[in-house]
């Protein structure tokens, strides 16, 4: 029976309600996109606190991104009437929660791991890129087969160097967390009630972590959708639901079938695509009323895709100053933040971003790796990391080496002195000592440390980084990328942590434009998981891109199909698919009658009867 309760539980349908309030030891909600899984998970946390009187400090919710964690906390605070009601509840990604458990651990920033990998490769006389070694190390730590012929010893050497500097990498964090959780006699009370979103994308270590954390606990609640499993290349294993059934023979399974997100038109295009994959029971019933037809637009080139997207957004928003197409002004009522532009690869994002910016459309792009490959960016980040953690010898050493080109022995010596005295006088003496050819770097480091240290915790990362770059006479596109990412942060320490622990969808890059009306989101299909937008453009639905094929890796067609499905099901009201001259084979799985065909941007219009899918 349902009691009269205000708020989030009241809005749930019968199945969602049953899941949110289940008293079983273990509950798995397995359901398709937009069926309210995440909503149900949040409702359950609220129910535990409000109805069951569970202390927030005895609840942990695991999200896939840090952004999702923040949103969940905000939603719960609204729901339960303020900050205090949620205080003490743990909400975060597996990585962030592990870091919280391992108090004295320090995770190497990506700027440090890349540098270290480069050194190890040089030392071993190998010519591979640092990223290749890092990828290989990560695959091994996750028990995946190697992808290239980097010898075992080289990976081991990297680990040795990392650990001897007192650092963990992203994967170590989970392994250490698991070791800790298993070693504990009694599991910490904060995991008594454990809730996990996007369970289908957990890798085996995360699966073990969830079980170890919740050992001896009261309830485990996991939600997910095997059809949206898109991280098998990182070791995710959608069979985790079956394994959970073995671990908990009394596992309560709940299915949700009503889709509240998308129009029937969108679902009618998305479902036939996923149905080509093996698997049964994909019932997904639209709750929403009929809306606009899904559009498939043919484009001449990636550039014409960008031009079309920019114009279409401007048309729907209305009032944008359209320098090149003034005739389209003032038509719509949407705001910029209602649009997402999704594509398969990061490279496509760059071209799209340029097109939108050129038309004055404010946009924000998710992802980070491009600028982190830059030496200056790494130097700047290492420097501020050392200011944020002055007692951390490895951070100080990294700053000296990366930003001030100090040779390793000098950097190590200076860092040791610095750590011993916590100040500049001794280090200055060391700098003045003879025998070091690069004392200039050391002096500059001291000067800039004295200048920035008192401000690092107070001023905005963007101001600090910009001034630092000026002082160093550094400039370049990558540094601009870093500044455009820093824009989204108020404090340096969380900014650095975001770059270190953030998932793809967490690290945002913006800049330019007037932000008042929000911005269009550009992201890869991977980063879009769990999100929803009123209007979604899916760009580059072409052969070679979807499914994605590269020389190194043959396409995993089933997974690519899931990825495409994830992308399509992000849309609430309107879905626009853009394809070039050689469209993706997946488009052939959409019933043609469900698609409205058109041309995106052409110098010469073609008569409608000449349009066809292939
Ligand atoms: P995904 O698999 O993409 O992560 P999901 O199953 O987690 O999707 P949610 O994001 O929780 O789905 O919900 C999708 C949308 O449907 C949200 O806008 C949510 O507010 C809405 N929704 C879910 N359940 C209901 C409901 N019972 N009544 C009204 N709206 C709902
Ligand atoms: Mg969700």
Mean of pLDDT values over 349-372: 88
For atom 21 of ligand 1, the residue with the nearest CA is 260
pLDDT surpasses 50 at 1: no
pLDDT surpasses 60 at 56: yes
**Percentage of the residues of the chain whose pLDDT score is greater than 70:** 90
Provide the residue count of the chain. Answer: 614
For atom 14 of ligand 1, the residue with the nearest CA is 34
- How far apart (Å, rounded) are the C-alpha atoms in residues 598 and 613? 10
Work out the pLDDT band at 331, boundaries 50, 70, 90: low
- How far apart (Å, rounded) are the C-alpha atoms in residues 40 and 15? 10
pLDDT surpasses 60 at 543: yes
pTM above 0.80, yes or no: yes
Which pair of tokens denotes residue 152?
């075992």
Mean of pLDDT values over 35-53: 96
List of residues 6+ apart from 51 with CB closer than 8 A: 5, 9, 21
- Could you tell me the sign of the dihedral formed by the alpha carbons of 175, 135, 364, 340, in that order? negative
Sheet holding 219-224, edge to edge: 90-92, 59-62, 193-196, 219-224, 26-30, 252-254
Q: Dump pLDDT digits (tens) for 550-597.
A: 887 778 899 999 999 999 999 999 999 999 999 999 999 999 999 999
For atom 4 of ligand 1, the residue with the nearest CA is 530
- How far apart (Å, rounded) are the C-alpha atoms in residues 424 and 422? 7
Of residues 174 and 2, which shows the higher confidence score?
A: 174
Q: How far is the CA of 563 from the centre of ligand 2 (A)?
A: 15
Residue in 259, 340, 264 with CA at minimum distance from that of residue 567: 340
Q: How far is the CA of 258 from the centre of ligand 1 (A)?
A: 9
Q: Which atom of ligand 1 is nearest to the CA of 256?
A: 6
Find out whether 31 is annotated in a ligand binding site. Answer: yes
> SS3 for 586?
helix
pLDDT at 327 (0 to 100): 45
Find out whether 38 is annotated in a ligand binding site. Answer: yes
Q: Which atom of ligand 1 is nearest to the CA of 259?
A: 16
pLDDT surpasses 60 at 329: no
> SS3 for 221?
strand
User: What ipTM does this complex have?
Assistant: 0.99
Find out whether 486 is annotated in a ligand binding site. Answer: no
pLDDT at 324 (0 to 100): 42
Q: Which residues line ligand 1 (CB under 6 A)?
A: 11-13, 16, 31, 33-39, 225, 228, 260-261, 530, 532
Q: How far is the CA of 186 from the centre of ligand 1 (A)?
A: 36
| 121 touches 154 (CB < 8 A) | yes
Find out whether 512 is annotated in a ligand binding site. Answer: no
Of residues 144 and 341, which shows the higher confidence score?
A: 341
pLDDT at 326 (0 to 100): 42
pLDDT at 392 (0 to 100): 84
> SS3 for 364?
strand
Query: Please, what is the average pLDDT of the chain?
Result: 89
List of residues 6+ apart from 205 with CB closer than 8 A: 142, 171, 174, 175, 178, 235
Q: Which helix (H) or strand (E) holds 38?
A: helix 37-50
Number of Cβ within 10 Å of residue 556's Cβ equals: 15
Work out the pLDDT band at 516, boundaries 50, 70, 90: very low
For atom 31 of ligand 1, the residue with the nearest CA is 260
Q: Which range is most confident: 9-13, 20-24, 235-239, 373-377? A: 20-24
Number of Cβ within 10 Å of residue 420's Cβ equals: 11
Find out whether 36 is annotated in a ligand binding site. Answer: yes
List of residues 6+ apart from 162 with CB closer than 8 A: 108, 113, 116, 168, 169, 172
């Amino acid at each position: 029976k349902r009691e009269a309760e205000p708020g989030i539980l009241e809005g749930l349908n019968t199945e969602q309600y049953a899941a949110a309030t289940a008293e079983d030891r273990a509950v798995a909600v397995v359901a398709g996109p937009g069926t309210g899984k995440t909503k149900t998970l949040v409702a359950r946390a609220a129910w535990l606190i409000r109805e069951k009187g569970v202390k927030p400090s005895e609840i942990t919710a695991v999200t896939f991104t840090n952004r999702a964690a923040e949103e969940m906390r905000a939603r719960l605070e609204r729901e339960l009437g303020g900050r205090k009601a949620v205080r003490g509840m743990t909400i975060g990604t597996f990585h962030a929660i592990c870091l919280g458990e391992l108090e004295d651990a320090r995770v190497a920033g990506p700027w440090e791991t890349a540098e270290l990998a480069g050194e190890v490769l040089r030392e071993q006389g190998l010519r591979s890129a640092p990223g290749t070694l890092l990828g290989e190390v990560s695959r091994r730590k996750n028990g995946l087969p190697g992808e290239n012929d980097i010898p075992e010893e080289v990976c081991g050497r990297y680990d040795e160097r990392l650990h001897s500097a007192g650092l963990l990498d992203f994967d170590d964090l989970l392994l250490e967390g698991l070791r800790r959780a298993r070693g504990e006699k009694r599991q910490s009370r904060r995991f008594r009630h454990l809730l996990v979103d996007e369970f289908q994308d957990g890798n085996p270590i995360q699966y073990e972590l969830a079980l170890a954390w919740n050992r001896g606990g009261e309830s485990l609640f996991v939600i997910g959708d095997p059809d949206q499993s898109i991280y098998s290349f990182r070791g995710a294993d959608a069979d985790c639901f079956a394994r959970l059934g073995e671990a908990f023979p009394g596992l309560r399974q709940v299915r949700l079938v009503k889709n509240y997100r998308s129009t029937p038109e969108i679902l009618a295009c998305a479902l036939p695509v996923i149905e080509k994959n093996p698997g049964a029971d994909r019932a997904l019933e639209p709750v929403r009323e009929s809306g606009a037809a899904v559009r498939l637009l043919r484009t001449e080139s990636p550039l014409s895709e960008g031009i079309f997207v920019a114009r279409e957004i401007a048309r729907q928003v209305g009032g944008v100053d359209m320098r090149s197409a003034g005739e389209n002004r003032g038509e719509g009522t949407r705001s910029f933040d209602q649009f997402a532009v999704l594509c398969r690869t990061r490279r496509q994002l760059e071209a799209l971003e340029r097109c939108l910016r050129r038309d004055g459309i404010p946009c924000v792009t998710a992802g980070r790796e491009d600028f982190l490959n830059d030496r200056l960016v790494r130097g700047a980040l290492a420097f501020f990391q050392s200011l944020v953690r002055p007692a951390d010898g490895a951070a100080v050493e990294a700053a000296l080496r990366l930003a001030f080109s100090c040779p390793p022995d000098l950097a190590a010596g200076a860092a040791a002195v610095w750590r011993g005295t916590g100040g500049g006088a001794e280090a200055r003496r060391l700098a003045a000592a003879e025998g070091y050819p690069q004392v200039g770097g050391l002096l500059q480091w001291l000067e800039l440390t004295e200048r920035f240290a008192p401000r690092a915790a107070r001023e905005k990362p963007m101001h600090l980084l910009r001034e630092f770059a000026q002082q160093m006479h550094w400039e370049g596109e990558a540094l601009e990328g870093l500044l455009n990412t820093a824009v989204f942060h108020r404090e340096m320490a969380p900014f650095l942590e975001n770059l270190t622990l953030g998932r793809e969808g967490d690290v945002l890059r913006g800049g330019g434009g007037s932000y008042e009306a929000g911005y269009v989101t550009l992201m890869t299909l991977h980063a879009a998981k769990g999100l929803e937008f009123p209007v979604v453009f899916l760009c580059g639905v072409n052969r070679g891109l979807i499914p994605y094929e590269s020389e190194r890796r043959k396409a995993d067609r089933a997974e690519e199909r899931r990825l495409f499905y994830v992308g399509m099901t992000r849309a609430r009201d309107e879905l626009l698919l853009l394809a070039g001259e050689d469209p993706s084979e997946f488009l052939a799985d959409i019933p043609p009658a469900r698609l409205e065909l058109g041309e995106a941007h052409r110098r010469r219009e073609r008569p409608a009867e000449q349009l066809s899918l292939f």
